Structure 1
Amino acid sequence: MRVPTGLQGHDHRLTRRIAAWDSPVARRLLPAVEETAEHTKLWWVAALGMAARGGRRGRRAAASGVLAMAVAELLSNGVAKQLVERRRPPAEWIPHGDVMDRPDSSSFPSGHTAAAVAFTAAVVPTWPWAGAACAAPAVLVAVARVHSGAHYPSDVAAGAVIGAASAALVRTVPRFLSRRR
Structure 2
Amino acid sequence: MPKKRSSAKHVARKAEGFDIRLGNAVADLGDQPVVRALGRFGEMADQPPLFALAGATMAAGFVLNRPRLARAGFRMLASEALATLAKGWIKRRVDRRRPNVHSGDHRARTGKIVDTSPHNSFPSGHSAGAVTIACAIARDYPGAAGITTAAAAVAVCAQVSAAKHFPVDAAVGVAIGFAAEVIVSELMRSPHDGGLR
Deviations 1:127-177 (A, max 9, x none): 11334322222112211111222211101100111111100100112438x
Tell me, which stretches of 5 or more residues in structure 1 are unaligned?
94-101
Superposition pairs of residues 11-160 of structure 1, within 5 angstroms: 11-21=19-29, 23-27=32-36, 29-42=37-50, 44-45=52-53, 48=56, 52=60, 55-77=66-88, 79-92=89-102, 103-160=117-174
Q: Percent identity?
A: 34
Equivalent position SS for 1:125: helix
Q: 1:114 Cα deviation (Å)?
A: 0.8
- Partner of 1:97 in structure 2? none
Deviations 1:109-136 (A, max 9, x none): 1111111111111221211133432222
Separation in 1, partners of 2:56, 2:19: 36
Separation in 1, partners of 2:141, 2:119: 35
Asked whether the 8 Å contact 2:79–2:181 carries over to 1, the reply is yes
Tell me, which stretches of 5 or more residues in structure 2 are unaligned?
1-8, 104-115, 193-197
Separation in 2, partners of 1:129, 1:121: 12
- Cα RMSD of the aligned pairs, angstroms, is 2.8
The count of residues paired between Structure 1 and Structure 2 equals 167
Separation in 1, partners of 2:164, 2:98: 6
Asked whether the 8 Å contact 1:122–1:170 carries over to 2, the reply is no
Deviations 1:23-58 (A, max 9, x none): 43223x213213323334156336635863893322
